[in-house]
Amino acid sequence: MWERTLTVNGFSKAFAMTGWRLGYLACPKHFLTACGKVQSQSTSGASSISQKAGLAALGLGYAGGEVVSTMVKAFQERRDFLVKSFRELDSVKIAEPQGAFYLFIDFSSYYGSEVEGFGAMKNSESLCRFFLDKAQVSLVTGDAFGDDKCIRISYAASLSTLQAAVGKIKEAVAFLKPPVPV
């Protein structure tokens, strides 16, 4: 089996190393050579600091043990808080994620809303700009991930930061009224 086995993984999820852009591949040399050719033409090398952080993460032992378990509990608490909070908003659809640390929230029922001094909510981009302007909360457009009905929020921040952000988002949503169907 070894001659046909490739193991590909990264550090972002397992060790909460968001943005470090560090991963690894374990495989027979003939695969490694081919993958190296593709990788060298599509990305640059991982920074030395990312590599040192990856070594430190691996030094934690099997899957990080207690450290990772503590992080998983913290991320679950943050996810549960956000899911509950966004489900309290009318006309917003949300599915509880089972992995990663992002929520993909459908705010499309507010598209067509007009906000005085801002304009119309046409898509996820205008909605994200609205939240940045009105709530000082930065969110990511859903069209960047193939679904313009949604926005993406990361829960890699602390619970207190997320609580403050949700409070500001809820205040801003009060300015939005789903358009009345004609």
pLDDT at residue 10, as a whole number: 85
10 lies in the same domain as 78: no
What distance in Å separates the CA atoms of residue 38 and residue 27, rounded to the nearest whole number?
Answer: 15
Query: Where is 9: in which H helix or E strand?
Result: strand 7-10
10 lies in the same domain as 100: no
* 52 in a structural domain: yes
Q: What is the DSSP letter of 96?
A: -
The CATH code of the domain that includes 160 is 3.90.1150.10
Q: What is the rounded average pLDDT for all residues in the chain?
A: 87
Mean pLDDT in residue range 107-133: 92
Residue with tokens 């509880």, as numbered in its chain: 96
80 lies in the same domain as 160: yes
pLDDT at residue 9, as a whole number: 86
Return the ∠ at Cα 19 (arms to 15 and 25), rounded to 5°.
65
Residue 15 or residue 182, greater confidence: 15
Tell me the three state secondary structure of residue 103. Answer: strand
Chosen domain end from 40, 59, 78:
59
pTM attached to this predicted model: 0.71
| Residues whose CB falls within 8 Å of the CB of residue 7, separated by 6 or more in sequence, listed in order | 25, 26, 27
Give the model's confidence band at 15: pLDDT under 50 very low, under 70 low, under 90 confident, else very high: confident
pLDDT at residue 83, as a whole number: 96
Nearest of 92, 95, 124 to residue 111 by alpha carbon: 124
Tell me the three state secondary structure of residue 181. Answer: coil
48 lies in the same domain as 74: no
At 64-96, the pLDDT tens digits run 677 778 888 999 999 999 999 999 998 899 988
Q: What is the DSSP letter of 46?
A: P
* 178 in a structural domain: no
At 122-153, the pLDDT tens digits run 999 999 999 999 999 999 999 988 999 999 99
* Residue ranges in the chain assigned as alpha helix (H): 29-42, 48-58, 65-87, 124-135, 159-173
Please give the residue range of the domain that contains residue 153. 66-173
